[in-house]
Amino acid sequence: MRLGDTLQLSFDSLRRNQGRAVLTMLGIIIGVASVILMMAIGNGAERFILSQVASFGSDMVFVRNGSGDGKQGAGPPTTAVKQVLTLKDYDRLKHQSWVRTADAEVMSQLLIESPSNSYHEQVSGSSEAGLAIFNAELASGSFFTVDDVDSRAKVAVLGHDLAADLFGQEDPLGKIIKIGKKSYHVIGTLKPAGTRFFTNLDRGLYVPVTALMEQLNVDRLQFMAIKIGDTPPAQAKEQIRVLLRETHKLDNPTGDLSKDDFFVATQEDAAQRAGTIGTILEVLLSSIAAISLVVGGVGIMNIMYVAVTERTREIGLRKAIGAQRRDVLAQFLAEAVVLTILAGLGGVVLGVIFAWGALTALGNYQSGWTFVMPWNAMAMGFGVSAAIGIAFGYLPARSAAQLNPIEALRYE
């Protein structure tokens, strides 16, 4: 039998059972759409993280608490690891000739109160270089100085939205706010800065790192950010490691990173890690979504077995008038493949629409999320749906082809 005739018979059969065909296709449509949506979100997350990392500049180096091999210190700053970084470390680093500027950071979630409002927000204790390090801009007033940091001055700089929430239309400069149980003078406000790494910078509050450490009764830093200028990042990382090993009195002559109690990362390291995280996220989400494809494939197999049973007499008649086993096999296999290809096309269209909607919504919530046509996901989803038609349609088609024509004609 010619291919055209086989396909024509397949379409005719599907048209006679449109309702059942649509329900059978639904599992594949949902599966393909889910795979495309999940892979698009995974790709979007990777691009978002890379854009956030790039916003710091290529000459940025971060130093965090945790094992130097990255197994503990590779993520965001955390108190789950032993805190070892000190102001002494920061002071030595910032005075190195190859360091352009450096920042010491401690963060905590605290109650912030003005005379009329109060909010729980993240308070960042930073050095006088915090403004330059994180590319923020003043809207009014000034940032704290070296003298403010050295004297543990109770002064604060408010993010744009937090200033508006605390004081409304009033000028916050010179006003008193309470952070926890301590009173601080507002000396500046920042221009809108958006979000970075899922943190709304416009709701942030910045105080001298020494003042916050005194208030929290801690003597350790959470991390340091260092601008290295024209120094090659690999060289800067090694110089930082040598200096901190000396300061921390670590016996590590071979430079074994696992023996360090700190972790040093450049923008390139962060970008590589972001790529790895994005790939893992993409594979994980796609694997979960692919389960629905398998379920859809099982549904197709069941429906095709039902079709074989319902059309037993038809199969017997065709074989009685000369149809070969391969003709029957081709017809039922073609029906399964046509069914899954149509479902795959529907799933691709639906998946692209959902992916565009999801990433557009994320972009409206947080800048940096962008939609890029997921060609690889579309190709994979469509290809897998076609493969499922062959894989799950073969056994019912083979069962139909092996029917004895005399017994099939007698079937009631």
Mean pLDDT of 50-69: 75
Which residue spans within 28-137 are E strands per DSSP? 60-65, 101-113, 118-126
- At 72 the pLDDT is 46
pLDDT digits (tens, 9 = 90+) for 341-388: 888 888 888 988 988 888 888 877 766 677 777 777 788 777 777 777
**Smallest Cα–Cα separation from 189: which of 223, 156, 225, 226?**
156
pLDDT at 146: 93
Helix pair 233-247, 87-94: axis angle to 10 deg:
140
Instruction: Look up residue 281 and give its two tokens.
Output: 């996220």
Give the per-residue pLDDT at 13.
61
The answer to whether 289 and 6 are in contact (CB under 8 A) is no
Least confident of 120-134, 172-186, 207-221: 120-134
Contact 98, 248 (CB under 8 A): no
How far is residue 78 CA from its own chain's centroid?
19
Full-model pTM: 0.64
pLDDT one-digit tens code per residue, 121-141: 999 999 999 888 877 889 999
Task: For residue range 148-162, list pLDDT tens digits in order.
Answer: 999 999 999 999 999
Exposure string over 81-92, b if 16+ CB within 10 A, otherwise e: bebbbebebbeb
CA–CA separation, 192 and 190 (whole Å): 6
pLDDT at 15: 65
DSSP H helical ranges for 311-324: 312-320
Q: Provide the pLDDT for residue 363.
A: 78
How far is residue 330's CA from residue 51's CA, in Å, rounded to a whole number? 51
pLDDT at residue number 274 = 67
Cβ neighbours of residue 355 closer than 8 Å, sequence gap 6 or more: 36, 37, 40, 41, 371, 374
Higher pLDDT, 375 or 114: 114
Single out the residue of 30, 42, 22 nearest to residue 292, CA to CA.
Answer: 30
Report the relative pairing of strands 262-266 and 223-227 from DSSP bridges.
Answer: unpaired
Query: For position 397, what pLDDT does the model report?
Result: 66
pLDDT for the residue 73: 44
